[in-house]
Structure 1
Amino acid sequence: MTDNIKDYINGGADGNFFLLAGPCVIEGEEMALDIASRMKVITERLGIPYIFKGSYRKANRSRIDSFTGIGDEKALKILGKVRSEFDIPVVTDIHLPEEAAMAAEYVDVLQIPAFLCRQTDLLVAAAATGKFVNIKKGQFLSPKSMAYAVNKVRESGNDNVAVTERGTTFGYQDLIVDMRGFPEMKEACGCPVIIDATHSLQQPNQTSGVTGGLPELIATIACSSIAAGADGVFMETHQNPSEAKSDGANMLPLDKMESLLRRLVIMRQAYLEGLKI
């Protein structure tokens, strides 16, 4: 595993984008290890710095009977096993300040959910761990306003921070991604900017109480965002999205991951060449 996660997230020597990918939530050890194993092979082949993503618990569900996890300790130990067995960094979400130190024992990056990006105590607690902090932009915020969330982390003594675009609320049950947001957030925040190519395509809180999505547009959002200057890509993936216990409507099937990543590598190379003109 890299000793300097900040250098890793900055794409390494060739400036490639980095990838955060994995299941929405840890459903069990076998599925997590299988996804991590297959993703490591793909990303090493393509020269993409890879961070395994898995939530140990989902707190923001539409319905009280929605799946939230297999138990915090059990899921965190699985994340720790992914980290040690495959020698790759790991990212997970936290929801309350007291979760920061607990999760930090098992992961390299702490992720702040979009709805919680203004929660000062949560940001300060995440910063205090010394881990890299990835803040998802609230669906209700402008790109430039994310500078205030980033500054809360920095002013707490931690300069290891990134921000993630995951769409802006459009009407009641849709999201849009404004490509102007990538250069705006880079300038305002002065840190790596990531596109969440799967949650950006959510259609939240449908009448059934289950979030829908437009997974057929994942490639469109990911490619457009790389062309607009995104430094990293976040995608949720699963062996069988239709059987996933959380957010299956937005996931990219695992067997489609490599072909999309190959396109994104080409897009990133073209973007970097364009900067030289």
Structure 2
Amino acid sequence: MIPSFLADLFRNQSYNPDNFFLIAGPCVIESEELLDEVAGKVSAICKRLEIPYVFKSSYRKANRTSAGSFTGIGDDKALHLLRKTGDKYHLPVTSDIHAHDEAAPAAAFADILQIPAFLCRQTDLLVAAAETGKIVNVKKGQFLNGPSMQFAVDKIKKAGNDKIILTERGTTFGYQDLVVDYRNIPWMQAHGVPVVMDCTHSLQQPNQTSGVTGGNPQLIGTIAKAAIAAGADGLFIETHPNPAVAKSDGANMLRLDLLEGLLEQLVKLRKAVI
């Protein structure tokens, strides 16, 4: 059952309340044309499949491996494009923030503020996000387990905000790989919040000597199906028409034309396990 704060978020959408919800879009805002293509196609698919949908794209990428990596088209321009896309397709929108002083400016445009996994223990960041009154989605650190995310939940609640989502995105395995421990889904649901599976970042292969993160996008369907079977409330899937030319996380994103078939399978699986 979708909690009331998410039901309110999806009030402009017609959806099956027994479905998982989807957070999806290109990793970073590259252009208005890209946002329009992805939001238009994904929203049409989700409408047909009765999946509640949040459009995601980062207005700025601060956590890059290489100093030469693309970080964005400019904060103000990107945030306005994010909101414009949401308004055009009647969708809630989300982006990540990286510092406490980004929370209020981003909250003027986004419905959900996303906290990157590496920053999930940053108290001032969590409190600043909570104080905006927006939904706060905290990605579980690659170095933490599900039970330890109770402390992030507590920080946000103590700041006066109980609109919280937690996202599983894999656990560090060695130096250049991640693994997914699906026990983290029920462990984090035990904190009384909806839990999302990040099906793309959990397949990253970080810390490559090239300075560009690698990935295993061919396994996105495997991660997503296992997450639905384990009872995840939502899925996070970054998608791009041509990941090979994407300016961020191209090695992890699902090609846009593959999304519809995957979501059709996942809806069927959801019906089988609820």
TM-score normalised by structure 2 residue count: 0.95
What are the superposed Cα offsets for residues 3-50 of structure 1, whole Å, 9 maximum, x if unpaired? x64225799653210000000000011111111011110000000000
| Mapped partners of 2:199, 2:8: distance in 1 | 20
Q: What's the CA shift string for 1:189-231, capped at 9, x where partnerless?
A: 2100000000000000111111000000000000001100100
Q: 1:237 aligns with which of 236, 239, 243?
A: 239
Q: Is the 8 A contact 1:201 1:214 kept in 2?
A: yes
Question: Following TM superposition, by how much is the alpha carbon of 1:84 offset from its aligned partner in structure 2, in angstroms?
Answer: 1.1
Tell me the matched-pair count: 268
Matched ranges for 1:180-191 at <5 A: 180-187=183-190, 189-191=191-193
Distance of 1:174 and 1:85 partners within structure 2: 38
Is the Cα–Cα contact under 8 Å of residues 90 and 107 in structure 1 kept in the other structure?
yes
Letter in 1 for 2:134: K
Could you tell me whether the CA contact under 8 Å between 2:9 and 2:92 is conserved in 1? no
CA contact (8 A) 1:128 1:157 kept: yes
Write the mapping of 1:119-268 to structure 2, written as runs, cut at 5 A. 119-187=122-190, 189-268=191-270
1:85 is aligned to 2:85 = no
In structure 2, distance between residues paired with 1:14 and 1:128: 28
> How far apart are the structure 2 equivalents of 1:95 and 1:271?
36
| Separation in 1, partners of 2:94, 2:152 | 19
Residue pair 1:9, 1:49 contacting (<8 A) in 2 also: no
The corresponding residue for 2:52 is 49
Q: Which ranges in structure 1 are unaligned for 5 or more consecutive residues? A: 273-277
SS at 1:249 equivalent:
coil
> Structure 1 37/79 Cα, relative in aligned 2: closer, same or farther at 3 Å?
same
Structure 1 residues 214-223 or 6-15, which shifts more?
Answer: 6-15
Among residues 101, 116, 120, which one is paired with 2:104 in the alignment? 101
User: Which residue of the partner structure matches residue 275 of structure 1?
Assistant: none
Compute the displacement of 1:249 (Å).
Answer: 0.2
Mapped partners of 1:164, 1:134: distance in 2: 7
How far does the alpha carbon of each residue in 1:90-140 deviate from its partner, in whole angstroms, 9 at most, with x for none? Answer: 010000111111011111000000000000000000001110000000000
In structure 2, what residue type is equivalent to 1:63? S
5+ residue gaps, structure 2, are none
TM-score after normalising by structure 1: 0.94
Q: Percent identity?
A: 61
Letter in 2 for 1:241: P
- Deviation, structure 1 residue 86: 0.9
| Cα root mean square deviation, aligned | 1.4
Distance 1:159 1:89 in 2: 18
